[in-house]
Amino acid sequence: MTRVVVVGGGVIGLAVGWRCAQQGWQTAVVDPHPGRGASWAAAGMLAPVSEATFGEDRLLALNLESARMYPDFVAELERTTGMEVGYRRCGTLMVARTFDDVAALERLHRFQLDLGLEATWLESREVKHLEPALHPSVRAGVLVPGDHQVDNRRLVEALAVACRKEGVEGIEGEVAEVEPGRGVRLADGRQVPADWVVVAAGWRSADLPGLGFRPPVRPVKGQLLHLRDDPRFPLTERTVRGFVEGRSFYLVSRGDGRYVLGATVEEKGEDLSPTAGAVYELLRDCIEVLPGAEELQLAEVVVGLRPGTPDNGPILGQVGPGLVLATGHYRNGILLAPITAEAVRCVIAGVPVPSEVEGFGPERFEEVG
């Protein structure tokens, strides 16, 4: 029987573990703190269209395909586990505050239309009709009906349950060495034998001993805030992405009185400390656009480290015998979990990966191999 060990128990590692176990493969997932890395810190936006940027067309195609897979992925997961993961088809409303912000949003909207994406320009009044809590000074917006969300923490917990149900061995431990084709050795000396090692350790994939190379993954710090209010009077329905004086923020409404406000993007290495400036700037920009946010409770300041790669795309594919990389998902780990798990399954089964995954292989970086 095929044996697989997955290094990393975040959303990617758990989704991979689940899919592998479903194949009847003997599967283990190793992580010292499963589900408590970037997956826990994320906001859970499934927003390929409103996050589309110049020069990243291939990544957009990958994101769109994974977003398309999401409803089935979630339905199967919820059926298996009996848990609810907060997949909400809420849509995303991008809004602009000043003339300069409107110009920037117009440029993005033209780009979205050029790519054939679904996104509708709205004047000030239409925007406020959709989200009455928006400040009257908001000048314009773009409605992206296909950009949804999932509650990332519930998703990770459900994936862990699904893994257990499918017989995945969860090992809370540190990997001391990867031995491609043979398995991994743990810090406590234990050997986990396997034919395939899947590296899904986020930014820590860079320093995993035994790979023989250094995957070009770096930690990119993100800070975000969890906010709360009375679920009977929700501040917003949709995800609001605000453009304020050249800066931007997003506020994800979970629909039950919980909100996620994010996020900073900081090149600060492994620093996990929350900062006053980040809290201030996020709240200031959000309150300028949604003055009612002043009344929300501040529940939590969350700091996470995204696994960033040189071109912002994931590193997804086989490197030599018995070794697969599924890391470097940067801002898109939650979104890309379904297609990543499917791709890894295909690699190990020896069948072609989804076409959108091609071009995201490790061989595109000279550091690998």
Partner 1 sequence: MEIVVNGRPQSWTGRVTVLEVVRSLLDDRFDGVAVAVNDEIVPRDEWADFELSHLDRVEVVTAVQGGDDEPLVIAGEKIGSRLIMGTGGVPSLEVLAKVLTASGADLVTVALRRVEPGARGSILDVVEAAGCRVLPNTAGCYTSRDAVLTARLAREALGTDWIKLEVIADERTLLPDPVELLDAAERLVGEGFVVLPYTNDDPVLARRLEEAGCAAVMPLGAPIGSGMGIRNPYNIRMIVEQASVPVILDAGIGTASDAAIAMELGCDGVLLASAVTRAEHPELMAAAMAKAVEAGRLAYLAGRIPRRLYAKASSPTEGVPEFG
Number of chain residues interacting with partner 1 (CB under 8 A): 23
**CB distance 199 to 183 below 8 Å:** no
Q: Verify binding: residue 209, partner 1, rule CB under 8 A.
A: no
Q: Verify binding: residue 57, partner 1, rule CB under 8 A.
A: no
Binding segment (CB under 8 A) for partner 1, from list 40-48, 146-154, 170-178, 308-316: 308-316
Q: Verify binding: residue 276, partner 1, rule CB under 8 A.
A: no
Q: Which of 269, 272, 298, 369 binds partner 1 (CB under 8 A)?
A: 269
Cβ distance to partner 1 smaller for residue 132 or 246 = 246
Beta strands in 133-238 (DSSP E): 140-144, 148-149, 169-171, 175-179, 183-186, 191-193, 196-199, 218-228
Q: Verify binding: residue 78, partner 1, rule CB under 8 A.
A: no
Q: Which of 76, 312, 358, 359 binds partner 1 (CB under 8 A)?
A: 312
CA 266 and chain centroid, separation: 16
Cα angle 80, 343, 187 (rounded to 5 degrees) comes to 80
Least CB distance to partner 1 at residue 277 (A): 9
Burial of 276 by CB count in 10 Å (0-12 exposed, 13-18 middle, 19+ buried)? exposed
Q: Verify binding: residue 55, partner 1, rule CB under 8 A.
A: yes
Least CB distance to partner 1 at residue 107 (A): 8
Sequence-distant contacts of 108-117: CB under 8 A, at least 24 apart: 108/52, 108/142, 109/142, 111/52, 111/54, 112/49, 112/52, 112/142, 112/144, 115/52, 115/57, 115/60, 117/49, 117/52, 117/144
Binding segment (CB under 8 A) for partner 1, from list 188-196, 233-241, 266-274, 293-301: 266-274
Least CB distance to partner 1 at residue 263 (A): 15
Coil, helix or strand for 336?
helix
Instruction: Tell me 77's DSSP state.
Output: H
- Which residues, other chains included, contact 241 with Cβ-Cβ below 8 Å and sequence gap of 6+? 47, 50, 92, 93, 94, 95, 248, 249, 250
> Which residues inside 81-140 make contact with partner 1, applying CB under 8 A?
111
Q: Verify binding: residue 246, partner 1, rule CB under 8 A.
A: yes
Q: Which of 148, 218, 258, 345 binds partner 1 (CB under 8 A)?
A: 218
Instruction: Tell me 33's DSSP state.
Output: S
Q: Verify binding: residue 266, partner 1, rule CB under 8 A.
A: yes
Binding segment (CB under 8 A) for partner 1, from list 73-81, 153-161, 190-198, 304-312: 304-312
Indicate the residue type of 97.
R
Q: Which of 95, 178, 201, 206 binds partner 1 (CB under 8 A)?
A: 206
Sheet of 183-186, strand order: 175-179, 183-186, 191-193
How far is it, in rounded angstroms, from Cα 265 to Cα 252? 17
Coil, helix or strand for 179?
strand
How far is it, in rounded angstroms, from Cα 149 to Cα 80? 20
Least CB distance to partner 1 at residue 217 (A): 7
Q: Verify binding: residue 217, partner 1, rule CB under 8 A.
A: yes
Q: Verify binding: residue 311, partner 1, rule CB under 8 A.
A: yes
Q: Which of 180, 219, 262, 322 binds partner 1 (CB under 8 A)?
A: 219
Q: Verify binding: residue 181, partner 1, rule CB under 8 A.
A: no
Convert residues 10-49 into a mask of x (bound to partner 1 by CB under 8 A) and - (unbound): ----------------------------------------
Q: Verify binding: residue 352, partner 1, rule CB under 8 A.
A: no
Cβ distance to partner 1 smaller for residue 158 or 278 = 278
Q: Verify binding: residue 270, partner 1, rule CB under 8 A.
A: yes
Cα angle 30, 32, 35 (rounded to 5 degrees) comes to 80
- Which residues, other chains included, contact 204 with Cβ-Cβ below 8 Å and sequence gap of 6+? 8
Indicate the residue type of 215.
P
Q: Which of 17, 34, 216, 362 binds partner 1 (CB under 8 A)?
A: 216
Q: Under the rule (CB under 8 A), what is the footprint of partner 1?
A: 53-56, 111, 206, 216-219, 245-246, 266-271, 308-312
